Amino acid sequence: MGISLKIDLHMHTTVSDGTDTPEEIVARVREAGINVFSVTDHDAVKACRIIPALVGEGLFYVTGAEFSTRDEAGKYHILGYGFDPDSAPIRELTETGHGNRMKKVRARLDFLKEEFGFVFPENEIEKLLAQDNPGKPHIGNLMVKYGYAETKRKAIEEYINRRHFASEYIRPEYAIERILAGGGVPVLAHPTYGDGDQLILGEEMEGRLKKLAGFGLQGVECFYSGFSPRMTRDMLAFAERFGFYVTAGSDYHGANKMVVLGDTGLDLADETPERLKSFLERCGLRLS
Amino acid sequence: MNADTVKIKLFGRIDSNNAAETEEKIFAQIPGAETQSVVFDASELEYISSAGLRVILRLKKTCPDVSITGVNSEVYEILDMTGFTEMLTVEKAYRVVSVEGCEEIGRGANGTIYRIDRDNVVKVYNNADALADIQHEREVAKLALILGIPTAISYDVVKVGETYGSVFELLNARSFSKIIAAEPEKLDWCVGEYVRMLKTIHGTVVPEGKLPDMRETAISWARFMLDYLPEAAGKKLLAMVEAIPRDDHMIHGDYHTKNLELQNDEVLIIDMDTLAVGNPIFELASMYNSYVGFYDVDREAIKKFQGYDYDTAQAFWHKTLAAYLGTNCKAKLREVEDKAAVIGYMRLVRRTIRRGGAETEKGRAELECWRVKLLELLDRTDSLVFSFNELEIEAVPENLDDVQAFVGERLEAAECPMKAQMQISVAVEEIFVNIASNAYAPDKGSATVRVEVSGDPVTVTITFVDRGVPYDPLAKEDPDVTLSAEERGIGGLGIFMTKKIMDDVAYEYRDGKNILTLKKNI
């Protein structure tokens, strides 16, 4: 292989909760010297239709999305890669996820109105709902704009979080099955952190992986901006035992999170792991 | 800590609710980034979630030198499980433990051991700055365990008042001191287990450089003593200590009954901070002090420390010595006890002087007693080295019975036939009486008798060594036994009989010593 790989397979745009537009993120990827990348917005594939036209020479792009799922035992973020965004199974999956989110946004807006009397102009609500994946940060921004809160953080902590809304969630087996049916590779995102702020280790991790493997999971995100070297080491050992593909992602969100694009911890590895190479080959990258 | 170090205190919980805010605050306190080193004071941090871990991880990516101090055990566990302890310097907070009202179960040179609950004991160090000592003891205890010595390893360091302690798990264990005090009928059993553990320790070879060399310590004590003893005695002591050969076998250094614990059916040795390598005479010396020397003046004191009385201590010590040496020969026991006592008293005198003991009445009495004993011992001791198959004894005719007893015991142990034993005893009598009568006359001196049993067929070798006038008993012409008793010259018959009884008799004079070797094939 002539050129060295710089890989980041996990990042978000304005299609979900990132702050860079798809156009901006492609420019940033180039600036960061990344040559293999995927954009993985939450429950949305809009970027998958925009980005291919922006990718020129020297960049390898993999279609992607990150699905929030849940079952009785907990929450899981399932990444899908290399699928056909226009296939029926993927459309169905994103519509379900998007539908669930929209229901929740409407419920939150109703709550803010009833509880605190916060009202927003019709056109703002329309704009909000027209976004690909509106969530708490978007509502928070709106509250700041209309003077109901000083900062987005205060808006979320002091008002939006006052009531918890049970969401209708996608189950992991459903997400995995749909990704596979759409021609994609299902991968468990940041396994050690669960859906973000958990800590899943040892036997608990093993139980999760066993279950998800049974549903058809094919990979695990072993390199991640928030992982310590030890977490990466442990996850690589699990990948070996379960025969999973290995992926690497930063979870860059632009200005929303202090994560540097391309920071996956992969630079600390002596060489690109074979299971990551075979993942990229599965996604169509010719390495030899 | 240098001037570029930023110290940041963390409070309460860091989780997904406040991680972003915490992160902003942390980065706001770090002006230049990159070259800074950051020390987090986590003494008031209760909990950290993975969102908090990621804050620290992100900081670590811009600032290579991050450390966290005062970490509670819950946070430590999280940092440890997630591999953060590999990436950062993490110092645990010390749990605070009080020993008020706790039972004292042991006391050594460096600290006191208390039982804090049914399953745990804490060793509280005398020295306020004991963290290095604690680390040392942990390391040597681990080493001992790896080398096969059953011991307890401390699992936690705690703060006890102004000093530190290390905590060990000792499940419902009882020290040998307690057993002996409460159940005197178990004394012999305790002696057996005590000696077995001692032999295990002394049979353990320690890799070079892992433990201090007791010989060097003892030489420094002997040098110290030069100023406090008459010149000749001081020089003799130093020469004898220097003549003890180097030895890479383990010694415990504070081997008394409070440091042996019976846990279920297992015997454990604790208080490992004095572990060293050296000749076993150094161990016997410290044991002598533990049961005899230390209590010469105040015999009641042992009751306070060990829980049993002085007479019990004497019985325990003598039975231990006999079992350790594998002999009941009084002369042999006295010889080794004397050697141990020389080093023991040297240590006690030095220790008392160093601790300003001469300023108290009791100290002065002890110092005088120990100094006199040391001088007496130095007068009759020529070597501090002992051997299991050797008897060093004053060469006087009255000691013949002791010599016979020692040789007889060794031959008995080797299952030597009765007839051969009796023949050998005739030869031993001839040779020893000869040395006792002639070697040092009119002065006195010592002789060494060594018994070796080896080979197949079995050969018994008995070697007599003395430092008397050079004298080859074999050079004398054999008497003419065909002549009648009246016609024979006086003497020479003893040597003649010896030659007849033994299969080989050889003499040499080397390094100022007469060495006579007798061999008999059995």
Chain A residue nearest residue B88, CA to CA: A228
* Per-residue pLDDT, A159: 92
Closest CA to B331 of B395, B392, B414, B407: B392
- The C-alpha of A235 sits at a distance from chain B's nearest C-alpha, in angstroms, of 12
* Interchain proximity B83–A263, CB inside 8 Å: no
Q: Does residue B460 fall inside a structural domain?
A: yes
Q: Which helix (H) or strand (E) holds A220?
A: strand A219-224
Number of H helices, E strands in chain B: 17, 20
B306 and B222 within one domain? yes
Give the mean pLDDT of A123-139.
83
User: CATH number of the domain that B15 lies in?
Assistant: 3.30.750.24
CA of B135: how far to CAs of B68, B142, B162, B170, in Å?
20, 11, 18, 19
Q: Is A66 exposed, middle or buried (0-12, 13-18, 19+ CB in 10 A)?
A: buried
Q: What tokens does A169 get?
A: 């969630």
Q: Does residue B271 fall inside a structural domain?
A: yes
Q: What does the mean pLDDT of chain A come to? A: 91
Chain A residue nearest residue B57, CA to CA: A226
User: Which chain A residues contact residue B17 at CB under 8 A?
Assistant: 157
* Interchain proximity A199–B84, CB inside 8 Å: no
B136 and B13 within one domain? no
B242 and B222 within one domain? yes
| DSSP-based three-state secondary structure for B387 | coil
pLDDT of A27 higher than 70 = yes
Decide if B123 contacts B168 (C-beta within 8 A): yes
B491 and B369 within one domain? no
The rounded Cα B137 to chain-centroid distance in angstroms is 15
* Per-residue pLDDT, A34: 95
Higher pLDDT, B43 or B171: B43
* Interchain proximity B82–A201, CB inside 8 Å: yes
DSSP letter for A159, please: I
* Interchain proximity A228–B86, CB inside 8 Å: yes
Q: What is the CA radius of gyration of chain A?
A: 19
* Interchain proximity B83–A258, CB inside 8 Å: no
B319 and B213 within one domain? yes
Q: Does residue B243 fall inside a structural domain?
A: yes
* Interchain proximity B58–A196, CB inside 8 Å: no
B516 and B416 within one domain? yes
ipTM over 0.90: no
Decide if A231 contacts B85 (C-beta within 8 A): no
Q: Does residue B194 fall inside a structural domain?
A: no
Nearest to B21 among A153, A199, A258 (CB): A153
B328 and B214 within one domain? yes
Nearest to A199 among B17, B50, B58 (CB): B50
pLDDT of A258 higher than 80 = no
3-state DSSP percent of chain B in helix, strand and coil, to 5 = 45, 25, 30
pLDDT of A264 higher than 70 = yes
Higher pLDDT, B481 or B213: B213
B331 and B289 within one domain? yes
pLDDT digits (tens, 9 = 90+) for B426-459: 999 999 998 998 888 888 888 999 999 988 788 9
What is the residue range of B211's domain? Answer: 205-380
B300 and B266 within one domain? yes
- The C-alpha of B14 sits at a distance from chain A's nearest C-alpha, in angstroms, of 11
A interface with B, Cβ–Cβ below 8 Å: 153, 157, 192-193, 196-199, 201, 226-231, 233-234, 258-260, 263
Closest CA to A97 of A18, A16, A161: A16
E-strand ranges in B407-503 read: 446-454, 459-466
Query: Which of B380, B405, B428 is the C-terminal boundary of a domain?
Result: B380
Q: Is B113 exposed, middle or buried (0-12, 13-18, 19+ CB in 10 A)?
A: buried
User: Which chain A residues contact residue B61 at CB under 8 A?
Assistant: 260, 263
Residue B58 at interface with chain A, using a CB cutoff of 8 Å: yes
* Per-residue pLDDT, A10: 97
DSSP string of B28-92? HT-SS-TT-EEEEEEEEEEEE-HHHHHHHHHHHHH-SEEEEEEE-HHHHHHHHHTTHHHHSEEEE
- The C-alpha of A180 sits at a distance from chain B's nearest C-alpha, in angstroms, of 30
Residue B126 at interface with chain A, using a CB cutoff of 8 Å: no
Nearest to B87 among A196, A228, A233 (CB): A228
pLDDT of B481 higher than 70 = no
CA distance A171 to A75: 9
Chain B residue nearest residue A256, CA to CA: B20
Which neighbouring-strand residues pair with B508?
Answer: B515
CA distance B87 to B53: 12
Residue B28 at interface with chain A, using a CB cutoff of 8 Å: no
Confidence of residue B478 (pLDDT cuts 50, 70, 90): low
Peptide bond into B442 cis (omega under 30): yes
pLDDT digits (tens, 9 = 90+) for A186-214: 999 999 998 877 889 989 999 999 999 99
* Per-residue pLDDT, B152: 87
User: CATH number of the domain that B473 lies in?
Assistant: 3.30.565.10
Long-range contacts of B56-59 (CB under 8 A, 24+ apart): B56/B84, B56/B88, B57/A226, B57/A227, B57/A228, B57/B84, B57/B87, B58/A258, B58/A259, B58/B23, B59/B23, B59/B26, B59/B27, B59/B30
Nearest to A228 among B15, B16, B82 (CB): B82
B362 and B233 within one domain? yes
* Per-residue pLDDT, B488: 47
* Interchain proximity A229–B17, CB inside 8 Å: no
Residue B463 at interface with chain A, using a CB cutoff of 8 Å: no
Give the mean pLDDT of A18-23.
93
* Domains of chain A, residue spans: 7-93+168-282
pLDDT digits (tens, 9 = 90+) for A44-71: 999 999 999 999 888 999 999 999 999 9
* Per-residue pLDDT, B106: 77
B337 and B273 within one domain? yes
User: Which chain A residues contact residue B15 at CB under 8 A?
Assistant: 197
User: Which chain A residues contact residue B22 at CB under 8 A?
Assistant: none
Give the mean pLDDT of A226-253.
95
pLDDT of A162 higher than 80 = yes
* Interchain proximity A199–B15, CB inside 8 Å: no
Count of domains observed in chain B: 4
Pick among A157, A228, A264 to test the B interface (most B CBs inside 10 A): A228
Residue B17 at interface with chain A, using a CB cutoff of 8 Å: yes
- The C-alpha of B25 sits at a distance from chain A's nearest C-alpha, in angstroms, of 13
CA distance B488 to B481: 8
Helices (DSSP H) in B175-266: which residue ranges?
176-182, 187-202, 214-225, 231-242
Query: Which of B93, B114, B146 is the C-terminal boundary of a domain?
Result: B93
Chain A residue nearest residue B20, CA to CA: A257
Closest CA to B436 of B466, B470, B405, B478: B466
Higher pLDDT, B371 or B29: B371
Superfamily of domain A7-93+168-282: Metal-dependent hydrolases (3.20.20.140)
Pick among B50, B56, B68, B74 to test the A interface (most A CBs inside 10 A): B50
Nearest to A230 among B51, B78, B82 (CB): B82
Residue B87 at interface with chain A, using a CB cutoff of 8 Å: yes
User: Which chain B residues contact residue A157 at CB under 8 A?
Assistant: 17
pLDDT of B1 higher than 70 = no
Give the mean pLDDT of B248-267.
93
Higher pLDDT, B19 or A131: B19
Q: Does residue B64 fall inside a structural domain?
A: yes
Q: Does residue B98 fall inside a structural domain?
A: no
Decide if B335 contacts B360 (C-beta within 8 A): no
User: Which chain B residues contact residue A227 at CB under 8 A?
Assistant: 57
> CA torsion sign, A50 to A52 to A57 to A60?
positive
CA distance B77 to B80: 5
Give the mean pLDDT of B320-334.
92
Decide if B279 contacts B244 (C-beta within 8 A): yes
E-strand ranges in B231-354 read: 250-251, 260-263, 266-269, 276-277
Query: Which of B341, B358, B380 is the C-terminal boundary of a domain?
Result: B380
pLDDT digits (tens, 9 = 90+) for B39-98: 999 989 999 998 899 999 988 888 888 999 989 888 999 999 999 998 899 988 888 889
Higher pLDDT, B197 or B118: B197
Q: Does residue B184 fall inside a structural domain?
A: no
Q: Does residue B432 fall inside a structural domain?
A: yes
* Per-residue pLDDT, B463: 96
B15 and B83 within one domain? yes
